[in-house]
């Protein structure tokens, strides 16, 4: 079935829910600019800077755990609405904060919202999507994450001249409001409704978003899957070991292959190459954000046609090449404009390759591979691990640069990325064009 044959509603649902991704990206990216002004205004020590930056990540770990329990009880939709409220509240508190403690509380609240929405949104979209365009729709969330990061870099540039850091923070209230209000009008996941025995409502929603032909087929499949899931099976049991391990390993690999060393620290890396100007370093960072966004847009065009595996394997190969080039150029060239350009090129290659593979596909796969009975909890678990690995990389990167030196640090990330390639090659199978229920049968 072609994309155009589905009612527009299905695209609108994905777009509104993916505002959660926009906030994820924005709140992650904006701090790189805001922190410079906080440092001056509150005379921050390095420890306090790290605390402010990482409180968001700690919040995200907590958010992923709490939301894992709520997505099945309250429903996917209500969890996204709650996250939107927290996004709004956290933004408000941060905007008017006059002490470091208040800022840390606000960042933790924003983190909880990010942790919850980072998996509740892909989960919600996946359960409302027709199989043949599910990759495209779920990955809109990743497009929005990268758009959020890019927009935050631009907003930072815009307000930086007049040191208006409160405005940089406050802008996020707009998408938070839109997400909260928009979600009120969207339906709950038909799969969850069916599981809760609200079969008529589930049918109505499927009819509206998938059309008549697909509805009966999907309902019959959902019925079989729900039949197996009346009880709440324990998450950690032999039957689910393989999908749980795949989710956990992909979560770890998505982070320990180094993406956020670039997203969080690009200006520092550019300065190591000998680029002395702050402005050039920030502009180059905006370039990284743009490449990330454009390549993610490209990836979602192909994700349902080429499939997840080829994109993942190609993307990871490009990441290895990019990392090796960064490592070699640091090892053999002296800081100079030439090194600056070579490093920038290698960084772009690395980020572009992440954007067509591990970036969108990790979040997509964890929304696809789990059986309905454990989907919410299993996604929350993989997401929690992803944020914990993110925190680990964020707090260890600068020390690694110091103790190992830059060439060895990037060589280490290259080595981990090679391991990731083998992991995907041997353990990750294709999910394109299959209904969630067909995928579920694999584990039986």
Contact footprint for ligand BGC (CB under 6 A) = 28, 142, 145-146, 149, 254, 259-260, 263, 292, 359, 363, 390
Kindly report the backbone phi and psi dihedral angles of residue 373, in degrees, each rounded to the nearest multiple of 5, phi listed first. -65, -25
C-alpha separations of 119 from 67, 139, 414 in Å: 9, 12, 27
Task: Return all residues near 383 (Cβ < 8 A) that are at least 6 apart.
Answer: 64, 68, 115, 118, 119, 251, 366
Nearer CB in complex with ligand BGC: 28/117:
28
Nearer CB in complex with ligand BGC: 202/246:
246
**Residue whose pair of structure tokens reads 């772009």 in the numeric block:** 348
Question: What is the rounded distance in angstroms from the CA atom of residue 276 to the CA atom of residue 280?
Answer: 8
Nearer CB in complex with ligand BGC: 264/270:
264
| Least separation in angstroms between CB 118 and ligand BGC | 7
Nearer CB in complex with ligand BGC: 273/390:
390
14 within 8 A of 121, measured Cβ to Cβ = no
| Least separation in angstroms between CB 25 and ligand BGC | 7
Question: What is the rounded distance in angstroms from the CA atom of residue 41 to the CA atom of residue 370?
Answer: 47
Helix (H) or strand (E) holding 282: helix 278-302
Both structure tokens of 124:
């919600």
DSSP 277: -
| Least separation in angstroms between CB 416 and ligand BGC | 15
Both structure tokens of 107:
């960042």
Q: Is 76 exposed, middle or buried (0-12, 13-18, 19+ CB in 10 A)?
A: buried
| Least separation in angstroms between CB 438 and ligand BGC | 26
| Least separation in angstroms between CB 412 and ligand BGC | 18
| Least separation in angstroms between CB 22 and ligand BGC | 12
Nearer CB in complex with ligand BGC: 293/342:
293
Nearer CB in complex with ligand BGC: 387/421:
387
CA-nearest of 355, 365, 285 to 316 is 355
Nearer CB in complex with ligand BGC: 152/409:
152
| Least separation in angstroms between CB 393 and ligand BGC | 9
79 within 8 A of 120, measured Cβ to Cβ = yes
Nearer CB in complex with ligand BGC: 423/443:
423
| Least separation in angstroms between CB 355 and ligand BGC | 7
Between helix 375-404 and helix 100-128 the angle, nearest 10°, is 130
CA-nearest of 168, 149, 146 to 157 is 168
Q: Is 104 exposed, middle or buried (0-12, 13-18, 19+ CB in 10 A)?
A: buried
Nearer CB in complex with ligand BGC: 106/361:
361
């Amino acid at each position: 079935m072609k994309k155009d044959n589905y009612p527009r509603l299905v695209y609108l649902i994905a777009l509104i829910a993916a505002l959660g991704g926009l906030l994820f990206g924005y709140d992650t990216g904006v701090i790189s600019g805001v922190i410079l002004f906080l440092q001056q205004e509150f005379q921050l020590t390095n420890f306090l800077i790290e605390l402010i930056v990482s409180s968001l990540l700690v919040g995200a770990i907590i958010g992923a755990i709490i939301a894992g329990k709520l997505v099945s009880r309250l429903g996917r939709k209500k969890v996204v609405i709650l996250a939107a409220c927290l996004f709004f509240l956290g933004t408000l508190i941060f905007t008017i904060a006059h002490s470091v403690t208040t800022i840390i509380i606000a960042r933790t609240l924003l983190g909880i919202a990010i942790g919850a929405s980072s998996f509740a949104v892909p989960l919600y979209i996946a359960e409302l999507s027709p199989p043949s365009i599910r990759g495209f729709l779920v990955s809109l969330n990743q497009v929005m994450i990268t758009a959020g990061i890019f927009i935050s870099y631009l907003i930072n540039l815009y307000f930086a001249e007049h040191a208006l850091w409160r405005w940089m923070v406050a802008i996020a209230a707009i998408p938070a409001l839109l997400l909260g209000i928009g979600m009120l009008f969207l339906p709950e996941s038909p799969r969850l409704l069916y599981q809760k025995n609200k079969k008529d409502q589930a049918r109505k929603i499927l009819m509206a978003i998938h059309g008549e032909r697909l509805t009966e087929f999907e309902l019959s499949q959902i019925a079989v899957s729900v039949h197996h899931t009346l009880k709440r099976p324990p998450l950690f049991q032999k039957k689910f070991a393989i999908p749980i391990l795949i989710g956990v390993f992909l979560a770890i690999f998505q982070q320990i292959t180094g993406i956020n060393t670039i997203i969080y620290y690009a200006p520092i890396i550019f300065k190591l190459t000998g680029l002395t100007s702050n402005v050039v370093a920030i502009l180059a960072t905006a370039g990284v954000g743009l490449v990330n966004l454009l390549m993610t847009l490209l990836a979602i065009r192909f994700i349902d046609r080429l499939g997840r595996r080829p994109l993942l394997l190609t993307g990871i190969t490009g990441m290895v090449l990019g990392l090796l080039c960064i490592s070699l150029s640091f090892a053999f060239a002296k800081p100079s404009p030439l090194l600056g350009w070579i490093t920038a090129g290698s960084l772009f290659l690395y980020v572009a390759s992440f954007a067509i593979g591990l970036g969108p596909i990790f979040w997509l796969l964890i929304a696809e591979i789990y059986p309905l009975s454990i989907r919410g909890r299993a996604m929350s678990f993989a997401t929690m691990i992803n944020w914990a690995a993110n925190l680990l990389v964020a707090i260890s990167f600068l020390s690694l640069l110091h103790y190992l030196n830059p060439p060895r640090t990037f060589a280490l990330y290259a080595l981990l990325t090679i391991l990731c390639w083998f992991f995907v090659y041997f353990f990750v199978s294709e999910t394109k064009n299959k209904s969630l229920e067909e995928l579920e049968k694999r584990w039986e």
